[in-house]
Amino acid sequence: MYYIYVLKSIRYGTRYIGSAENINKRLIDHNLGRVRYTKGRLPWKLIYQEHFFSRGEAMRRERFLKSGQGRKFLDEILKTD
């Protein structure tokens, strides 16, 4: 199983989109500063995830979520009242 996930920096409010086989381990890696891109905006919380049966499907979805339309999609589904 492969996952795409969206993290939100608790301190800065920024989002990060990634993919992994083990989402729990990956979240721990992000919060321990083991991921260069995210280590400057600790701590992170998981706010969205999807699962896929192949890595290719997950990578295509990740690319979409990083596009303009994908960011709009995330904005809509992650709206808070």
Q: Tell me the pLDDT tens digit for each residue of 8-52.
A: 999 999 999 999 999 999 999 999 999 999 999 999 999 999 999
pLDDT at residue 81 tops 60: no
Describe the strand order of the beta sheet including 44-52 as a list of residue ranges: 15-20, 2-9, 44-52
Q: Tell me the pLDDT tens digit for each residue of 8-19.
A: 999 999 999 999
pTM above 0.85, yes or no: yes
pLDDT at residue 80 tops 80: no
Q: How far is it, in rounded angstroms, from Cα 63 to Cα 26?
A: 18
Q: Delineate the domains of the chain, giving CATH numbers in brackets.
A: 2-77 (3.40.1440.10)
